[in-house]
Structure 1
Amino acid sequence: MPFSPFLFCHKQKIEEKELINKYYDNLPAKDRSVIYYKIIEELSFEEMGAKLDEKETTLRSRYKRALDKLKRMIGNNYN
């Protein structure tokens, strides 16, 4: 199952939401925060940088790596 940030939307199946949340909760806190701020709060990387006092480029890289981790976790455990 390919991962998409849109899996967090309200129309998603309950089972898929539960699966995503299960693995999301297992990510390191910094990874969870960039996913949360980007997808749920819809902040730009610039806004996130100001909020978290981190470089925009760092946050872009962390976001991509966090999504990749989540994709691998879900992909390895999805029936």
Structure 2
Amino acid sequence: MSKRKKVLVLSIMVLVLAVAVVLNFTLLGEEQTDDASTATASFFTTYRETRQSERNQEILYLDSVIAMEGEEFVDARQTAVNQ
């Protein structure tokens, strides 16, 4: 390639890069809403509530096992107490 062609190709590449930068700022430069942070907070709140309700249910199961009477439930009671 001649020196003139190399300069022309390089100039065109710089021009394309400049156009891409301008388009990036104009298209994505608008103020974004906080939907992502709200969704994240909502996700963690929902997860915490689900985890707490499952934990409460497991505690109820363990309490019911502990409250069982009879010799056939000795192993189940001991396992529940150990947990």
TM-score if structure 1 supplies the norm length?
0.30
Structure with higher Rg: it is 2
Higher relative contact order (CA 8 A, sep 6+): 1
Structure 1 or 2: larger helix share?
A: 2
Normalised TM-score (structure 2): 0.28
